[in-house]
């Protein structure tokens, strides 16, 4: 923040006039009513200087030159940054009939801020243009500073609003998550029954003796291997041979039974011979 001075317009010869009060019927000040041939202060110089914090204060100084020095005779000072309800034309007003004459508002701070209006003009049009450009440059600087501060404030408010909304959203999410967790958690004494699909194989027997499976095919007995088939065949043949050996064929059984009967008869004969 700067507190130095910046000269916007150097010393330039100007004219100072006493002006009549503006009537209610007039639309603005007119230089032709000032009696331009009658100058209030002769040998005057005008400077435009900004000073103070960020050059917010503008001073239009009017000096009277003497042989060895210059005396300050009038000051038009204002600060548009602090008095934002007032515009430039409240302090410096252009006349309606010329581009080289202006009305300055003076404030006497030593006498209870009494104010007065004086007229001033320049000999050359270029000097008047330079005077207006210095004023417009000051106004543009004040306007940019105000806009920058407003944008900064609005950005801060927007960021704070975003932070508040984000915090509120996070708090709501935390509460929602906590509520969900509390709903999913088991209370004391509660149990969870889990049924895994495809792990149970239930069978029901029908009236015809068939077994029905609930979506699961029953396990079938695997086919016998070749070695077992040979073994079973060998055991079967051996059993048959043994049976034949023990029992014999049917014709052989009949002959054996006949022979046995003959033997029995022979034995009976022998017994009768012995006991007779």
Facing residues of 46 across strands? 12, 62
Interatomic CA distance for residues 32 and 98, integer angstroms: 9
Token pair of 51 as six digits: 């000073």
Interatomic CA distance for residues 249 and 247, integer angstroms: 7
Q: Where are the beta strands (DSSP E) in the chain?
A: 6-18, 41-51, 57-65, 70-78, 92-94, 101-108, 114-122, 203-205, 211-213
pLDDT greater than 70 at residue 267 = no
Facing residues of 104 across strands? 92, 118
Label residue 174 by pLDDT band (50, 70, 90): low
pLDDT greater than 90 at residue 271 = no
Proportion of the chain in helix, strand, coil states, percent, rounded to 5: 45, 25, 30
Looking at residue 132, what is its pLDDT? 95
Tell me the average pLDDT across 164-174: 69
Is the CB of residue 15 less than 8 Å from the CB of residue 102?
no
Taking the model in full, what pTM does it have?
0.56
Domain boundaries, the chain: 5-143
Name the more confident of 173 and 253.
173
Looking at residue 209, what is its pLDDT? 46
Which of 91, 76, 94, 86 has the alpha carbon at shortest distance from 28?
94
Per-residue pLDDT tens over the stretch 84-126: 889 999 999 999 999 999 999 998 767 777 889 999 999 999 9
Per-residue pLDDT tens over the stretch 3-40: 588 999 988 899 999 999 888 888 899 999 999 999 99
Phi and psi angles of residue 36, each rounded to the nearest 5 degrees, phi first:
-60, -20
* 236-242 LR contacts (CB < 8 Å, sep 24+): none
Which of 125, 137, 128, 53 has the alpha carbon at shortest distance from 88?
137
Per-residue pLDDT tens over the stretch 129-155: 999 999 999 999 999 999 999 898 888
CATH of domain 5-143: 2.30.29.30
């Amino acid at each position: 923040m700067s507190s130095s001075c910046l000269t916007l317009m150097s010393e330039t010869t100007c004219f100072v006039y006493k002006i009549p009060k503006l009537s209610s019927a007039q639309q603005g000040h007119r230089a032709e009513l000032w009696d331009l041939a009658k100058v209030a202060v002769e040998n005057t110089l005008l400077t435009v200087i900004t000073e103070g914090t960020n050059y917010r204060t503008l001073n239009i100084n009017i000096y009277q030159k003497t042989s060895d020095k210059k005396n300050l005779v009038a000051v038009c000072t204002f600060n548009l940054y602090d008095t934002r309800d007032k515009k430039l034309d409240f302090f410096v007003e252009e006349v309606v009939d010329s581009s080289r004459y202006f009305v300055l508002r003076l404030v006497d701070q030593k006498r209870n801020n009494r104010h007065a209006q004086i007229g001033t003009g320049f000999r050359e049009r270029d000097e008047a243009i330079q005077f207006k450009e210095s004023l417009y440059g000051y106004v543009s600087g004040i306007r940019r500073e105000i806009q920058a501060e407003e944008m900064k404030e609005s950005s801060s408010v927007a960021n704070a609003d975003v932070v508040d909304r984000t915090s509120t959203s996070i708090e709501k999410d935390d509460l929602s998550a906590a509520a969900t967790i509390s709903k999913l958690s088991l209370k004391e004494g509660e149990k969870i029954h889990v049924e895994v699909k495809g792990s149970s194989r239930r069978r029901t027997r029908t009236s015809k003796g068939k077994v029905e499976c609930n979506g699961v095919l029953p396990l079938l007995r695997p086919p016998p291997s070749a070695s077992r088939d040979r073994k079973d065949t060998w055991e079967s043949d051996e059993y048959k041979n043994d049976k034949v050996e023990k029992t014999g064929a049917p014709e052989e059984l009949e002959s054996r039974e006949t022979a046995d009967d003959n033997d029995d008869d022979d034995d009976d004969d022998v017994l009768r011979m012995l006991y007779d």
